[in-house]
């Protein structure tokens, strides 16, 4: 195997062999559709469609949660950002994982015990208010749509880099496959698809980087730059940005609609906790690999940090450092994993959005669910066509900030505070949504270079403000605490009987 | 495994008490008495305290990691097998801390629930 060396200019044409890459995408797509349709035989009722009738085993469920959660941002964006900003970017994988810890501590078991299907179901039942339901639905659908857009951007980037086809092919392919699987099988088949995709993603990241490290060590390749050296010369993030990012990721995870809908597939509260514990293990193992990619690229291929290419680093690294047939095959494996990431996160989001849209607008039938699924994915497709891809990890970080400012406060206070009222919940969600949404719009209009840190990373002030408004307005409208509140709190926090999984 | 089938809730239906009676319902009605509510409140308090303590402990350790690198700058440069210590700490070392916190929490939360069940069962 030859060592391509430092001064070699980037290869012209497609860095990844187009034919092999297209075959990889096709294999992932076919596998997804086959597993999706296989599940069709066992999903028949409305209940099956929404939450797999709550009979999914913890290991399956945990793999599915991992598969759904690890999106384009985790698969491509994190490694690219580590290449650009070094140890500062390590806060992203740490925050994504620690967010699950917060979910376990504050939300997992009570939410499962609430017996609700979706977040709007939960807030409506807890606060006895259809108005709260509508505002929550609005927040959830906004979050879901915002989160699908970077997935489609990631798909466009991958297809362009890997096959040389125009960008839109990638986004449209993801939308079509997701529509097919969701409309055909609903959640049961999605669970199997997602579980398969976690393991595919892990393999697709782990095998190439381990091979690369092995070959580099065998060749005694000389490092081109120390790990601390910044390949672009951009200034490092200040402490404010790191703290604000961490707030967004820690609190944003526990409001993500596609993450929460998974908890309803656990049979009881205790198994919801056990599932989360397994998820934490799966995420911890997964994030070792983007970190390794970032570090290896920093030391051995800092040239990949060129403007606009950092997100594609994971796709390009095997070709750059290995070349030849091995490079092509490993690149194809990475492309397959990346496609699995776009498909799984998008389908998870579409299922949860379709659940919300169909129940609120279309009456909750299976037919309504299918219509809603199409609506859930076509709108972000239009949005993805109109916008440009930013750094994937960064744009997903903003979605987390929005979730942390809207859905997270109403969930946390609804579960743990008896004094929450419908007026307080609505005021808090609107305040958080307007502040964070406003910051995102201003940031997008001004452009990345011109935005001051407090606008670029708004979570540190929007999240506390949303909490404060929710508490103050609830206090002022204390007479509106619903009469059924003690019963609901009992239901959220007391263990189910019989003791299905205890001891 | 117990298979709990639930029907899709419809818009306009507010309180859980209005839903179709099921196995879940009995555990709420059993706790309607004043004594039952005392037990429930104490369970919620102990679960919240547990969650806050674990979260605070984890965040303290998380904050200690970068502080350690600032206070001992020599540490960031040394490393194992060419990987600097700063990268190992945040890129690898934090995950066992997360896993351990989660495991401790799950164990203790189940214990809190078992204690509640004993109390409520004796009633």
Give the ipTM of the model, two decimals please.
0.83
CB pairs under 8 A between A and B: 180
Residue A36 has a pLDDT of 66
Q: Which residue has the tokens 């001064």?
A: A7
Instruction: Characterize the bridge pairing of strands B79-80 and B83-84.
Output: antiparallel
What CATH superfamily classification does A18-393 receive?
Answer: Sodium/glucose cotransporter (1.20.1730.10)
Phi-psi region of B81 (alpha: psi -120 to 50; beta: other; left: phi over 0): left
Does the pLDDT of residue A400 top 70, yes or no? yes
How far apart CA B98 and CA A67 sit, in angstroms, is: 19
Cα–Cα distance measured from residue A399 to residue A449, given in angstroms and rounded to the nearest whole number: 19
Cross-chain Cβ contact A284/B95 below 8 Å: yes
pLDDT tens digits, one per residue of A449-486: 677 778 888 888 999 999 999 999 999 998 888 888 88
What's the rounded Cα separation, in Å, for the pair B31 and B36? 4
**Tokens (6 digits) for B28:** 């709420």
Contact A79, A288 (CB under 8 A): no
Whether the bond between A498 and the residue before it is cis, its omega within 30 degrees of 0, is yes
Instruction: Quote the pTM value.
Output: 0.84
> Which band of pLDDT confidence, cut at 50, 70 and 90, is reported for residue A3?
very low
Mean pLDDT is highest, among A157-161, A424-428, A452-456, B5-9, for A424-428
* Residue extents of the structural domains in chain A: 18-393
In this prediction, residue A347 has a pLDDT band, given cuts at 50, 70 and 90, of confident
Nearest CA to A98 out of B50, B67, B47, B102 is that of B102
Q: Which residues of A touch B101 (CB under 8 A)?
A: 101
pLDDT in tens, A313-345: 888 888 888 877 888 888 888 888 888 888 888
| Chain A contact for B35 (CB, 8 A cutoff) | no
Nearest-by-Cβ selection for A364 from B8, B17, B31: B8
- What is the least distance, in Å, from the CA of A99 to any CA of chain B? 10
Mutation target for B interface from A98, A279, A366: give the one with most B CBs within 10 A. Answer: A98
Look at A17-31, A354-368, B18-32, B79-93 and tell me which has the smallest mean pLDDT. B18-32
Q: If DSSP states are collapsed to H, E and C, what string results for chain B?
A: CCCCCCCCCCCCCCCHHHCCCCHHHHHHHCCCCHHHHHHHHHHHHHHHHHHHHHHHHHHHHHHHHHHHHHHCHHHHHCEECCEEHHHHHHHHHHHHHHHHHHHHHHHHHHHHHHHHHHHHHHC
Q: Does A360 touch chain B (CB under 8 A)?
A: yes
Measure the N-to-C terminal CA separation of chain B; round to a whole number of Å.
Answer: 27
Per-residue pLDDT tens for A268-278?
Answer: 888 888 889 99
Can you tell me the mean pLDDT for A496-500?
Answer: 55
| Chain B: closest CA distance from residue A156 (Å) | 29
**CA distance readout (Å), B53 to A231, A277, A304, A391, B56:** 40, 18, 43, 35, 5
- The pLDDT assigned to B75 comes to 67
pLDDT for the residue numbered A194: 79
Mean pLDDT of A241-260: 86
């Amino acid at each position: 195997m030859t060592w391509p060396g430092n001064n070699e200019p980037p290869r012209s044409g497609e860095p990844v062999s187009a034919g092999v890459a297209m075959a990889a995408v096709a294999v992932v797509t076919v596998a997804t559709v086959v597993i999706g349709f296989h599940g069709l035989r066992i999903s028949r009722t409305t209940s099956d469609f929404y939450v797999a009738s709550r009979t999914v085993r913890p290991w399956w469920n945990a793999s599915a949660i991992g598969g759904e959660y690890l999106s384009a941002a985790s698969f491509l964006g994190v490694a690219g950002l580590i290449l650009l900003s070094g140890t500062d970017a390590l806060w992203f994988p740490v925050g994504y994982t620690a967010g699950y810890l917060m979910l376990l501590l504050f939300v997992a078991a009570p939410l499962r015990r609430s017996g609700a299907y979706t977040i709007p179901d939960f807030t409506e039942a807890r606060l006895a208010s259809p108005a709260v339901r509508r505002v929550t639905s609005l927040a959830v659908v906004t979050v879901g749509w915002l989160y699908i857009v970077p997935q489609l951007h990631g798909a466009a980037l991958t297809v362009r880099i890997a096959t040389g086809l125009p960008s839109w092919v990638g986004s449209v392919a993801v939308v079509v496959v997701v529509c097919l699987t969701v409309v055909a099988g609903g959640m049961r088949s999605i669970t199997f698809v997602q579980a398969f995709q976690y393991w595919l993603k892990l393999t697709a990241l782990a095998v190439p980087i381990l091979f690369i490290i092995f070959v580099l060590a065998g060749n005694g390749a000389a490092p081109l730059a120390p790990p601390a050296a910044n390949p672009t010369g951009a200034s490092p993030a200040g402490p404010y940005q790191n703290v604000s990012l961490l707030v967004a990721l820690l609190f944003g995870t526990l409001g993500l609609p596609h993450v929460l809908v998974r908890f309803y597939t656990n049979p009881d509260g205790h198994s919801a906790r056990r599932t989360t514990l397994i998820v934490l293990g799966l995420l911890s193992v997964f994030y070792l690999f983007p970190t390794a990619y970032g570090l290896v690229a920093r030391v051995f291929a800092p040239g990949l940090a060129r403007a606009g290419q950092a997100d594609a680093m994971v796709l390009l690294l095997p070709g750059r450092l290995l070349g030849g047939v091995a490079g092509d095959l490993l690149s194809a494996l990475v492309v397959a994993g990346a496609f699995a990431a776009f498909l799984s996160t998008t389908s998870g989001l579409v299922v949860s959005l379709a659940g919300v849209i169909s129940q609120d607008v279309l009456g909750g039938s299976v037919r309504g669910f299918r219509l809603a699924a199409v609506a859930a994915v076509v709108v972000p497709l239009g949005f993805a066509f109109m916008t440009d891809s930013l750094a994937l990890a960064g744009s997903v970080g903003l979605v987390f900030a929005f979730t942390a400012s809207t859905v997270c406060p109403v969930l946390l206070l609804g579960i743990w505070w008896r004094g929450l009222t419908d007026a307080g919940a609505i005021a808090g969600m609107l305040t958080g949504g307007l502040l964070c949404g406003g910051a995102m719009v201003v940031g997008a209009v001004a452009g990345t270079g011109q935005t001051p840190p407090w606008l670029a990373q708004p979570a540190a002030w929007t999240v506390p403000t949303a909490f404060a408004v929710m508490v103050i307005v609830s206090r002022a409208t204390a007479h509106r605490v619903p009469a059924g509140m003690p019963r609901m709190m009992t239901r959220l926090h007391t263990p189910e009987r019989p003791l299905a999984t205890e001891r | 495994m117990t298979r709990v089938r639930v029907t899709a809730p419809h818009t306009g239906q507010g309180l859980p008490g209005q839903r179709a009676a099921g196995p879940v319902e009995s555990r709420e009605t059993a706790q309607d008495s004043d004594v039952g509510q005392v037990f429930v409140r104490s369970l919620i308090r102990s679960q919240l305290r547990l969650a806050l303590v674990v979260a605070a402990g984890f965040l303290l350790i998380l904050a200690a990691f970068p502080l350690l690198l600032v206070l001992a700058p020599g540490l960031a440069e040394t490393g194992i097998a060419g990987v600097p210590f700063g990268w190992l700490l945040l890129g690898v070392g934090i995950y066992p801390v997360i896993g351990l916190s989660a495991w401790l929490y799950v164990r203790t939360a189940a214990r809190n629930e078992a204690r509640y069940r004993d109390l409520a069962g004796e009633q």
